[in-house]
Amino acid sequence: MQNLTGNWFIKEEAAISDYGNLEEIFERYDFIDYHWINASQIEVAHWVRFKCTFGCSSFGKKGSCPPQVPSVEECRAFFSEYDQAVIFHIAKKVERPEDRVLWSREVSKELLKVEREVFWAGYHKAFMLFMDECRLCSSCTGERESCINKEDSRPGPESLAVDVFSTVRSVGYPIEVLSSYDQEMNRYAFLMVE
Ligand code: SF4
């Protein structure tokens, strides 16, 4: 049986057991495949920013992507201010590229609900990194200042120079370069907790 996120109902054993109230929130929104990590395990690398700058069609067109985001060093400093984070594994296979956009938007809306509930639970630093670039709007303004949904807009981990491949592999999650849309995607959202 699969949920909205396309994941099979397999619960990762939490590395940190003190967050039962947060895990109840994750699972209520069907994010049941997750892994607690120390924030220091999140790898930040300049090559990620270079890949965004040279070779990604979203560069300069998205309000939560480079160059509308902090520098790599500022991103590194941001992550260093956290101790605990959660990786959410979200798997999905789509037939057409446009299917991915709509699915990504719906998952992002659910991730935002999780972030808000974690914040309301007392974790004032809670900050979600979407599993994808921000796709909340059908047409993005391309700039932070003119973003039409500033309250909800969030960057993806790659936008903040996270080496998602190395980071998720370090905890045993699968991720591979894909060559067609009919292959299953393994996407990852990150919740910075405290
Ligand atoms: S909320 Fe809309 S305008 Fe703002 S970054 Fe996301 S897609 Fe672009």
Residue-wise pLDDT for 131-164, tens only, equals 999 999 999 999 999 999 999 999 999 999 999 9
What are the tens digits of pLDDT across the range 46-80? 999 999 999 999 999 999 999 999 999 999 999 99
Q: 62 is written with which tokens?
A: 């998205």
Q: Which atom of ligand 1 is nearest to the CA of 134?
A: 6
Are 141 and 168 contacting, i.e. CB atoms less than 8 angstroms apart? no
Band of pLDDT at residue 167, cut at 50, 70 and 90: very high
Are 32 and 86 contacting, i.e. CB atoms less than 8 angstroms apart? no
Check if 140 has its Cβ closer than 6 Å to any atom of ligand 1. Answer: yes
**Stated pTM of the model:** 0.90
Q: Separation of 188 CA from ligand 1 center, angstroms?
A: 19
Q: How many residues does the chain have?
A: 194
**What is the average pLDDT value for the chain, to the nearest integer?**
92
pLDDT over threshold 80, residue 116: yes
Check if 63 has its Cβ closer than 6 Å to any atom of ligand 1. Answer: yes
Cα distance between residue 78 and residue 127, in whole Å: 11
The rounded percent of the chain whose pLDDT value lies above 70 is 91
Q: Separation of 172 CA from ligand 1 center, angstroms?
A: 32
Check if 102 has its Cβ closer than 6 Å to any atom of ligand 1. Answer: no
Where are the strands (E) in the chain, listed by range? 34-38, 84-92, 127-129, 185-192
Model pLDDT, residue 14: 44
Model pLDDT, residue 105: 97
Q: Whose CA is nearest to atom 2 of ligand 1?
A: 137
Model pLDDT, residue 18: 78
Cα distance between residue 108 and residue 125, in whole Å: 19
Q: 121 is written with which tokens?
A: 């639970």
Q: 156 is written with which tokens?
A: 């993806």
Q: What angle do CA 31, 158, 165 make, to 5 degrees?
A: 75
Model pLDDT, residue 17: 54
Residue 39: CB atoms within 10 A of its CB come to: 17
Selected residue with higher pLDDT from 78 and 6 = 78
Cα distance between residue 34 and residue 11, in whole Å: 7
Q: Separation of 61 CA from ligand 1 center, angstroms?
A: 10
Q: Separation of 137 CA from ligand 1 center, angstroms?
A: 6
Cα distance between residue 166 and residue 46, in whole Å: 13
Model pLDDT, residue 184: 94
Q: 21 is written with which tokens?
A: 């109230």
- Phi, psi of 51, deg, nearest 5: -65, -35
Q: Which is nearest to 53 in space by CA: 128, 158, 142?
A: 158
Model pLDDT, residue 98: 85
